[in-house]
Amino acid sequence: MTDGRGEVSVTVSSRPSPEVLTDWDRLVDGTRGGDVAQLSAWAAVRREAGYSPRYVLARQAGRPVGGALVLQRALPLLGTVGYVSHGPLIAPGPARVAAVRAVGDALTGLGRGLAGLFVQPPYGADDVAAHMLGRGFRPSTAGVGPAASIRVDLTGDLAEVLAGIRPSNRRSIRGAERRGITVREGCEDDLPLAAGLLSDSAAHHRFEPLSLDYLRVLYRELACGGHVRMFVAELRGVPAAMVLCTGCAGTLTGRLVGMRRDAEVRRADVVRQADWHAIAWAKAHGYRAFDFGGLAVDLVDPIRRGADDLAERLTGPARYKLSFGGEPFRYPQAVELISSRLLRRAYDWSSGSGSGGRLLLDAARRVMRGGGAGRRNAPKFFGSSRSQHGQRG
């Protein structure tokens, strides 16, 4: 593929050189829509859940212009499946059109060699989704990444951000100290505490608890590049809640939430204080947005138009996120290429066969997104929606 400035070449590799990976990580962190799910560090994290990486990387005149981190895993009876979350990423500029085609074509070739390949393009990459749909992919509801989310704009000053929050939220935030709530930045030494708080939330909301081993790998891998932050809320000096966030490409994203479940902590509204502290920290450190990590896609339009029955439609988590004054948005259409007839038939049956099929499909999603039977009991980390006090996408 060429654009008049030279050919865009694509390589597919399981082990790029350290220099190539450094270039790739720099592109991910500097490109609109970039997310930790495309960083080379994330490949190391997902290896703990049994996934192996394949990098599809595009260059023009020696300069990286796009690519994707594909994570693959063998499933019993079905073969090897792969997924791309928040990718492929294509740099802006004159090479973009050629790079979209070259990377999309390479992913098509890779997908035809797998039982299935599931792709959630990043924010702002509708051209990527359109090209892949034209290359044999079809629309997907597999949910390997969030289909929508809520984002708080941090380009104004912090007073403007606070003014955009609902009045009840502002009162709660301003009264936190009076109620004995303080928030501090966490560190690696706080990971056992974080795992315990996540376990409390997991037991309450009935999701798979987070392994401390997995959390340690996640934190250490992402901390090397400054891509993870943890905020611990304390009630009268005793840890009560924590929010773990990831940062990439100018956006800090809330990912995981854990909270003690006793009545005093629930009444104190400690998670709200941790989220506000994360937002204020992000603003102070040059981030342009704070992302709450997921929203049911069917709520985007009703929220935007202020539907008459909006209050009835909103779930508790969605109402909570909206209270911070953010704007809902959709990601581009997710796509999939399922080459295995057996997998396609099973997947299509699951999608349209009522509650039994939905249970099977949810189980498959847990395997794809979280590791399921992986070596370290890894969590569901990139979901399409989340609990206020649970895993945030």
Q: Mind listing the pLDDT tens digit for each residue in 94-128? A: 999 999 999 999 999 999 999 999 999 999 999 99
Question: Span 71-80, mean pLDDT?
Answer: 90
Question: Span 312-330, mean pLDDT?
Answer: 93
Residues 6+ apart with CB under 8 A from 219: 188, 191, 228, 230
Q: How would you class 151 by CB atoms within 10 Å of its CB: exposed for 0-12, middle for 13-18, buried for 19 or more?
A: buried
Check if the beta carbon of residue 91 is closer than 8 Å to that of residue 43.
Answer: no
Give me the pLDDT at residue 382, please. 33
How much is the pTM? Answer: 0.89
Could you give the CA distance from residue 344 to residue 273 in angstroms, rounded to a whole number? 45
Angle between helices 167-174 and 270-284 (to 10 degrees): 90
Could you give the CA distance from residue 382 to residue 302 in angstroms, rounded to a whole number? 24
Query: Terminal CA-to-CA distance of the chain, rounded, Å?
Result: 35
Average predicted confidence (pLDDT) for the chain:
88
Indicate whether 381 pLDDT > 50.
no
Q: What percent of the chain has pLDDT over 70?
A: 88
Check if the beta carbon of residue 3 is closer than 8 Å to that of residue 93.
Answer: no
Give me the pLDDT at residue 368, please. 54
Give me the pLDDT at residue 148, please. 97
> Per residue in 104-138, is it b (16+ CB within 10 Å) or e — as a string?
bbbbbebbeebbbbbbbbbbbbebbbbbbeebebe
Indicate whether 391 pLDDT > 80.
no
Question: Span 166-182, mean pLDDT?
Answer: 93
Indicate whether 31 pLDDT > 70.
yes
Confidence label for 207 from pLDDT (cuts 50, 70 and 90): confident
CA-based torsion, 30, 35, 41, 44: positive or negative? negative
